[in-house]
Structure 1
Amino acid sequence: MSDASDGDDVSDEGEEFDPEADEEREIGREMVDQSTGLGSVLAHTYRGEMDQATTWRSRLDQTTTWAVTVMAAILTWAFSSPDNPHYILLIGLGMLAAFTGIETRRYRDYDVYRSRIRIIQQNLIANALDPSEGVAHSDWRRKLSEDYRRPTLKVPWGEALANRLRHVYLPLFGIMLAAWAFRVSVFTPDQSWLASAAIVVIPGWAVGAVVTAFSVAVVAAAFWPRERRAKGEFREGEFGEWKD
């Protein structure tokens, strides 16, 4: 008897968890039919992930607010008097670049929690609401488990930078560059723009070349073709479907 019992214990311990098995991945279907302990745990987990994502989203918005505030202050001071140096606008470009770097890093952290939320929404909540469609990812439990065991960033730096440039900072850079061009040309009609663009011993053509190169680099970083790694959210559809 003891040998048979021991054999059964070994057999049970040797069973491996298969997250792609129908009975393991269809937690959403079980949540409709009956209350499960794992479903309750994931509900609390989802609430926690939403709180983390909201916190990081607010940090992104704070960075943007500071960038716009600093830019407005610099623009106001630069055009308040013809005697104020134009290179304060170039310093503003450098500060915008710093804010872009900060927001890029924060966006990568925010995307970690957003990606987890989308995994749960696609495979648990959507499946609970309509079990007939099944899950979006057959191994979603393994993916989520691995990310909790070893959290990793999901979005490369270049993609995160392009995202923040296209959504926020590219227009801000455009305003600052246009203000600088206006400041060294139209704002000082009594001398050429090359003379106005000079900074102490740095000739105007060199300053213009650096500004042009910087502008090209910003546009290239924003629109350089690359494979999308971030999990998508919104998709185009029929706008009147929800009103029917």
Structure 2
Amino acid sequence: MDGNTKPRKKLDAAEMGVIAHLYRGEVYRSTIWRTRLDTTTNWSVVTLGVALSITFSSPQASPLPLVLVGILIIFFLMLEARRYRYFNVWRARCRWLELHFMAPMLKEGDLHLEECWQDTLAEDYLHPRYHVSLWTAIGRRIRRNYFWILLIQTVAYLGKLIVHPYPIQIPEQLLQRASIGPFPGWLVLTVGLVYCTSWGIIAYLSGRADAARARHHGSQTGMG
């Protein structure tokens, strides 16, 4: 500590109680936003289930609902990523308090205020900000939940084209069945490939960024 910095004073009982209540409040907010994440995931699962029911209701049913439900899945994914960024703020603060307040107090009885971990937390309250980018949030939600939703949508769509109204005999039939109105089948399948590949790339790159962040998790700026 330099000469211009005042020595850190010990926290008294009242201040310890305030921090304990602060932790409870952050846990509550984290729980509320975690519930909101589950809600958007449930919406995606339900809408995909409806599309599957309509598409496979009969051999003559159109596979178009499985294409259109992709628009809703994108909307729900974006909404969930936005909610995740809020959730991550409260979760990071809870984890910071657990690491630097709860654990040292239980293990050593010393909060190690000389390490200035409380300044990082105070700065986060004075100047609140998101701890992860939107792309990172999207990648995390894809890896956690939406990978399986997108996989089921893709497999179901291709399966519908292959088996209904009867199993295809030649590859050209797949392109014929994939056509939608004035859009040829090859264009529809190409857009679908770009659709799936884009989300996969985002998930992969965000995963690499998270791995790099985990290697520096011990730093004082590692919240989030």
Q: Percent identity?
A: 29
2:54 partner letter: W
**Pick aligned residue for 2:210 from 228, 236, 240:** 228
Deviation at 1:163, TM superposition (A): 0.8
TM-score (normalizing by structure 1): 0.77
**Pick aligned residue for 1:36 from 4, 13, 18:** 13
Q: In the superposition, relative to structure 1, how do residues 121 and 210 fare at CA in structure 2: closer, same or farther (>3 Å)?
A: same
2:192: which partner in 1?
Answer: 211
CA distance in 1, matches of 2:211, 2:131: 7
Residue-pair matches, total = 207
Deviation at 1:97, TM superposition (A): 1.4
Q: 5 Å matches for 1:9-20?
A: 18=6
Cα RMSD for the two superposed structures: 2.5
CA distance in 2, matches of 1:166, 1:143: 29
**Pick aligned residue for 1:168 from 137, 145, 162:** 145
**Pick aligned residue for 1:87 from 64, 69, 74:** 64
Gaps of 5+ in 2: 215-224
CA distance in 2, matches of 1:135, 1:166: 36
Deviation at 1:16, TM superposition (A): 6.5
Counterpart contact for 1:111–1:230, Cα < 8 Å: no
CA distance in 2, matches of 1:140, 1:16: 18
Q: Deviations over 1:114-160 (max 9, x none)?
A: 01111111111111101278659922211111111121100111111
Deviation at 1:69, TM superposition (A): 1.0
Gaps of 5+ in 1: 1-14, 28-34, 233-244
1:160 partner letter: A
2:102: which partner in 1?
Answer: 125
Q: In the superposition, relative to structure 1, how do residues 129 and 190 fare at CA in structure 2: closer, same or farther (>3 Å)?
A: closer
Counterpart contact for 2:105–2:111, Cα < 8 Å: no
Counterpart contact for 2:59–2:166, Cα < 8 Å: no
TM-score (normalizing by structure 2): 0.84
1:194 partner letter: L
1:61 paired to 2:38: yes
SS in 2 for 1:125: helix
Deviation at 1:38, TM superposition (A): 1.2
1:139: which partner in 2?
Answer: 116
Deviation at 1:231, TM superposition (A): 8.3
SS in 2 for 1:58: helix
Counterpart contact for 1:154–1:229, Cα < 8 Å: no
